Amino acid sequence: MPTMSSGDARIQNAVVDDSLAAFVELARTRRSIRRYTPKPVGAALLETLLEAANWAPSAHNRQPWRFCVVQSAAMKAALSTQMAEAWRSDLAGDGADPVEIDRRIAISQARLTGAPVLIVPCVTLEEMDVYPDPVRRQAEWTMAVQSVALACQNLLLAAHAAGLGACWMCAPLFAPALVRQVLDLPETWQPQAILTLGYPAEVKARTRAPITERVVWR
Please, which of residues 69-108 interact with ligand FMN by CB under 6 A? none
Residue 142 makes contact with ligand FMN by CB under 6 A: no
Q: Rounded CA gap, 27 and 16, in Å?
A: 16
Query: Going residue by residue from 180 to 209, which x/- string records binding to ligand FMN, judged by CB under 6 A?
Result: ------------------------x-x---
CB of 130 to ligand FMN, least distance (A): 27
Residue 168 makes contact with ligand FMN by CB under 6 A: yes
Query: Going residue by residue from 28 to 57, which x/- string records binding to ligand FMN, judged by CB under 6 A?
Result: ---xx-x-----------------------
Contacts 24+ apart (CB under 8 A), 158-164: 158/48, 158/49, 158/52, 158/53, 159/49, 159/197, 160/26, 160/29, 160/30, 161/26, 162/45, 162/48, 162/49, 163/199, 164/41, 164/45, 164/49, 164/197, 164/198, 164/199, 164/200
By C-beta, is 183 or 193 nearer to ligand FMN? Answer: 193
Query: Among residues 88, 93, 82, 118, which one has the least CA distance to residue 103?
Result: 88
By C-beta, is 34 or 76 nearer to ligand FMN? Answer: 34
CB of 208 to ligand FMN, least distance (A): 8
CB of 167 to ligand FMN, least distance (A): 5
State the residue number with the nearest CB to ligand FMN.
32
Residue 118 makes contact with ligand FMN by CB under 6 A: no
Give the one residue of 169, 179, 185, 195 binding ligand FMN; rule: CB under 6 A. Answer: 169
Instruction: Tell me which residues touch ligand FMN (CB under 6 A).
Output: 31-32, 34, 167-171, 204, 206
